[in-house]
Amino acid sequence: MKWQIDSDRPVYKQLIEQTEQAIVSGIFSPGERLPSVRDLAAEAGVNPNTMQRALAELERSGILYSQRTSGRFITDDEEMIDKLRYQKAEEDARTFFDNMKKLDLSADEIARLLRAIFEEDKDEKSASNE
C-alpha cells in the first residue's frame, strides 16, 4: 500500500484515515494479516512509534486486532467494514455540502460543478486506457 503523508495535520491521524480507507476500499481484505508495525512504518516513512499509535487507535475502534506475537489482523466482521465505508462517505458528503453552503453555491451550481469534474475524470480514464 502507498502512503501520502503531508505536514498539514498530525501524521498519526493521517495514518489512521489512510488505513481505514485501505480497509474499506479492499486494499486490505477482512481477516488479512498486516505487515509488522516496523515494516508499515518503514513503508510509510514514519517513525514506528507513530505507526504504533495509529494502529492502537484502530484497535480500540475494533477494525483491527492484534495477536501478541503472530501479528496484527483486519477484522473478519465484514458488516463492520461496510458500515465504516458508508459512514465515511456520508461524512465526506456532509462536509462537502457544508462547504458549498458556506460558499453560497446553489444546488444547481453544485450539480454543474460535480458533473464537470465527473466528465473530466472520465476523459482521463479513457485517455489512459489507449
* Residue 75, C-beta contacts closer than 8 angstroms, at least 6 positions apart: 30, 31, 62, 63, 64, 65, 81
* 3 state DSSP class of 71: strand
Near DNA by CB under 7 A, which window of 22-30, 46-54, 97-105, 122-130? 46-54
Q: How far is the CB of 43 from DNA (least distance, A)?
A: 12
User: Applying CB under 8 A, which of residues 78, 92, 123, 124 lies at the interface with a copy of itself?
Assistant: 92
Residue with cell 479492499: 26
Nearest to a copy of itself of 56, 100 (CB atom): 100
In the chain the first and final C-alpha atoms are separated, in Å, by: 26
The interface partner of residue 24, options being DNA, a copy of itself, none and the CB cut-off 5 to 8 Å by kind, is a copy of itself
The interface partner of residue 85, options being DNA, a copy of itself, none and the CB cut-off 5 to 8 Å by kind, is a copy of itself
Residue at 4: amino acid letter = Q
For residue 29, the 8-state DSSP code is: -
Q: What residues make contact with a copy of itself under the rule CB under 8 A?
A: 8-10, 13, 21, 24-26, 85, 88-90, 92-97, 99-105, 107, 109-110, 113-114, 117-118, 121
